[in-house]
């Protein structure tokens, strides 16, 4: 029996070609309006860290700069530890195409140990995923079809209505299902559409420019999720002079805060 | 008449010593438990961008990695544009001491143009700064004395009580007063104590490991603030396995969201 790898694993796969260097290739299942979905680029950059022989511990943070349009096709990834301490490590990862830096990321990894723990953010009470239909009102690009999204609230055709806020609560998992890990969680953190499309009754050119993810889950907690939906709660903060920010909490169905993503989105007009 | 420069300007001052290279020096007014206050380090790294002859536009984001302890004394700053587009630019800035990278930052700068604007975050109604006393219950290090902080709520000796959340609302300005700009705003974004000290009735070793700031104000809006207090609203999200995250909104007295800071804090036990 032959088992085909999941498209996400193909999209983020890196082949070592030298010290600190890898090659990769975009995947049509994660195509966006122009080039690839930013979530798979974030996951690919993180994979540069996770695939590196010198890596220490699990990801705690990831900051991605989408510096230039990425063309569908091959790219190089260059990952190197900027500083290695006893239990933490700081990384710089670059994605290069045609000799230029098209995207880059910094990351903190750490050996995590049990400590006092608490959650101040509040897990929202929403309709469970299995009682909601999979959305069909998505943007006309490939990548949203690589997810099963079920909106607990905030579902609407993008750019269709004027709202007072941009809050969306959506259950999401890979489609076809795939066990959750740091790579898929990173991609999911960029799967919440620009809030400007939720907030305003029109579509304007827009896209993520920089994304920061804080990982609260360790590998064991992610693994325990299997391929269940996670709950994303996204909202905007301020929109002005061509940029807005937005924040998304990603929760397990049992109310564990797995990750928080913050991003800056460019928009026109 | 001789006017002495403000200590913050001395702390973040950079002297060009080559292409992309500067030297700087820590300042005792911003001393912390070990080495300098992280806020002045963030401002210093941003100053590497702002002082660079190739810089395009104003800061939109800044992500700082505090990679290793910084020693009081001299350091080198190396700043270079990773990618320059028509209206945006992506930066990498390193702070080096003793041949190693002690801190580094990435930044997005952009030429900002008027667009549709809105604020979804809610400006909190609190007692104005001029009706509150300057706090005296601060940590015993130098840097908090370089600020005038007036707590609208959440004031308490650090590590003194058990609370259900870590919300603090505090008016803050440089002491002595200094007109607000991107440098001082960056430092203020790191002036909200680790939430673990607000949340728990004990002091444990803790410190910021990575900080991301999104700037919503342009230079004109910052300049219009003069040296008035700004309102910082800080809260924690999740604490586990040695790390927690926290978010701080920074508002003008008139309810303009000037910046939002997100950070990961290391803590022990």
Q: Rounded CA gap, A35 and A100, in Å?
A: 16
Q: How confident is the model at residue A169 (pLDDT cuts 50, 70, 90)?
A: very high
Residue A225 clears pLDDT 70, i.e. is over it: yes
Confidence bin at A137 (pLDDT 50/70/90): low
Residue A33 has pLDDT above 90, yes or no: no
Q: What does the pLDDT profile of chain B (269 residues) look like in tens digits?
A: 667 899 999 999 999 999 999 999 999 999 998 899 999 999 999 999 999 999 999 999 999 999 999 999 999 999 999 999 999 999 999 999 999 999 999 999 999 999 999 999 999 999 999 999 999 866 678 999 999 999 998 787 888 888 889 999 999 999 999 999 999 999 999 999 999 999 998 889 999 999 999 999 999 999 999 999 999 999 999 999 999 999 999 999 999 999 999 999 999 98
Phi-psi region at B26: left, alpha or beta (left = phi > 0; alpha = psi -120 to 50) = beta
Amino acid A158: pLDDT: 83
Which residue, among A192, A186, A205, A204, has the nearest Cα to A246 in the 3D structure?
Answer: A192
Q: Would residue B89 count as lying in a domain?
A: yes
ipTM over 0.95: yes
* SS3 (DSSP) at A16: strand
Residue range of the domain that includes A187: 7-111+129-267
Write down the mean pLDDT value for chain A. Answer: 95
Average pLDDT score over residue span A70-76: 97
Q: How many domains does chain B have?
A: 1
Whether B193 is in a domain gets the answer: yes
CATH number of the domain within which A198 lies: 2.40.160.210
CA-wise closest residue to B239 among B170, B164, B158: B164
The span from the CA of B36 to the CA of B108, in Å, is 25
Residue B64 CB contacts under 8 Å (≥ 6 apart), including other chains: B38, B41, B42, B45, B103, B104, B105, B210, B211, B212
At A28, list the tokens: 């049509």
Q: Which residues 206-265 of B have a C-beta within 8 angstroms of A?
A: 209-210, 212, 214, 216, 218, 235-243, 245, 247, 249, 257, 260, 262, 264
Supply the pTM of this predicted model: 0.97
Joined tokens for residue A235: 């909202």
Instruction: Please state whether beta strands B88-97 and B58-66 pair in parallel, antiparallel, or not at all (unpaired).
Output: unpaired
CA distance B94 to B102: 8
Enumerate residues 98 to 157 of chain B having a beta carbon within 8 A of any beta carbon in chain A. Answer: 100-102, 104, 106, 108, 110, 112-121
For residue A88, the chain B residues in CB contact (below 8 A) are 209, 266
CA separation for the pair A178, B28 (Å, rounded): 53
Residue A133 lies in a domain: yes
Give a yes or no: residue B121 inside a domain.
no
pLDDT at A114: 96
Tell me the mean pLDDT in the region A143-169.
Answer: 90
Task: Flag whether A124 is in a domain.
Answer: no
Contact B264 A214 (CB under 8 A): yes
In this predicted structure, the answer to whether residue A24 has a pLDDT above a threshold of 80 is yes
B109 closest CA partner among B122, B92, B132 = B92
Q: Look at B101 and A117 and tell me if their CB atoms are within 8 Å.
A: no
Nearest C-alpha neighbor of A242 from the set A263, A267, A264, A262:
A267
Give the SS3 label for residue A106. strand
Mean pLDDT over residues A46-53, rounded? 98
**Is B143 within the bounds of a domain?**
yes
Confidence (pLDDT) at A157: 80
| Residue in B115, B209, B216 closest to A108 by CB | B209
Q: Residues A187-202: pLDDT tens digits?
A: 999 999 999 999 998 8
Does the distance separating the beta carbons of B267 and A214 come in below 8 Å?
A: no
On whether residue A249 sits in a domain, the answer given is yes
CA dist B222 and B143 (Å) reads 22
Residue A126 predicted with pLDDT over 70: yes
> Is residue B199 domain-resident?
yes
List residues bridging with B44 in a β-sheet: none
């Amino acid at each position: 029996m032959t088992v085909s790898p999941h498209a996400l694993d193909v999209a983020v796969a890196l082949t070592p070609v030298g010290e600190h260097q890898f090659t990769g290739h975009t995947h049509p299942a994660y195509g966006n309006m122009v080039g690839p979905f930013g979530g798979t680029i974030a996951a690919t950059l993180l994979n540069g860290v996770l695939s590196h022989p010198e890596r220490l511990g699990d990801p705690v943070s990831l900051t991605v700069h989408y510096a230039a349009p990425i063309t569908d096709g091959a790219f190089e990834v260059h990952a190197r530890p900027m500083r290695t301490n006893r239990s933490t490590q700081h990384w710089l990862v670059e994605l290069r195409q045609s000799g230029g830096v098209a995207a880059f990321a910094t990351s903190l990894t750490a050996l995590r140990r049990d400590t006092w723990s608490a959650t101040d953010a509040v897990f929202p009470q929403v309709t469970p995923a299995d009682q909601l239909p999979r959305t069909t009102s998505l943007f006309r690009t490939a990548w949203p079809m690589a997810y099963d999204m079920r909106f607990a609230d905030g579902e609407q055709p993008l750019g269709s209505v004027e709202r007072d806020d941009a809050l969306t609560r959506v259950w999401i998992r890979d489609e076809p299902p795939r066990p959750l890990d740091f790579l898929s969680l990173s991609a999911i953190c960029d799967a919440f559409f620009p809030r400007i499309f939720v907030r305003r009754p029109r579509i304007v050119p827009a896209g993520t420019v920089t994304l920061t993810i804080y990982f609260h889950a360790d590998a064991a907690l992610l693994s325990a999720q299997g391929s269940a939906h996670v709950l994303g709660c996204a909202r905007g903060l301020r929109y002005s002079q061509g940029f807005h920010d937005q924040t998304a909490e990603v929760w397990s169905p049992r109310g564990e805060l797995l990750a928080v993503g913050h991003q800056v989105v460019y928009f026109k007009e």
